[in-house]
């Protein structure tokens, strides 16, 4: 199944802000579908889709945090302005919540399918 990757496959950008949390996100490895039976191929596809959602959510959360830091810095000095306005920030936060909610629903459906 999916295994967590090691530090050599970490996709975190070297130019990331030092204000981001020190906990480093480790993306999951892609599950190869070749050579698997049909049932396992569907499971692998789901795991790969879930991996993409989790990684995208993490990236978007980092962007929002970075932009909020820029907003806070702008209010205290003449720092660079934030990229997002309040409406855009709220829309992206809702997108995060919906994406994770849909992923949760898919996980629950798969768990229900496995129980007798």
In a domain, 104, yes or no: yes
Instruction: For 78-99, write each residue's pLDDT tens digit.
Output: 677 888 888 999 999 999 999 9
Structural domain containing residue 42:
36-114
Is 27 a residue whose pLDDT tops 90? no
In a domain, 17, yes or no: no
Q: How many domains does the chain have?
A: 1
As a whole number of angstroms, the distance between CA 71 and CA 64 comes to 10
Judge if pTM exceeds 0.75: no
pLDDT at 16: 41
| 10-24, 46-60, 65-79: least confidently modelled range | 10-24
Is 13 a residue whose pLDDT tops 80? no
């Amino acid at each position: 199944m999916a295994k967590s990757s090691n530090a050599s496959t970490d996709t975190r950008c070297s130019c990331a802000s030092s204000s981001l949390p020190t906990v480093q996100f480790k993306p999951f490895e892609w599950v190869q579908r070749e050579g698997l039976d049909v049932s396992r191929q569907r499971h692998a596809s789901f795991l790969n889709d879930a991996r993409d959602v989790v990684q995208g959510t993490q990236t978007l959360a980092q962007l929002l945090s970075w932009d909020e830091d820029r907003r806070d810095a702008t209010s205290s000095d003449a720092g660079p302005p934030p990229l997002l306005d309040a409406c855009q920030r709220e829309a992206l936060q809702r997108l995060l919540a919906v994406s994770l909610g849909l992923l949760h629903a898919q996980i629950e459906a798969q768990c229900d399918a496995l129980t007798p």
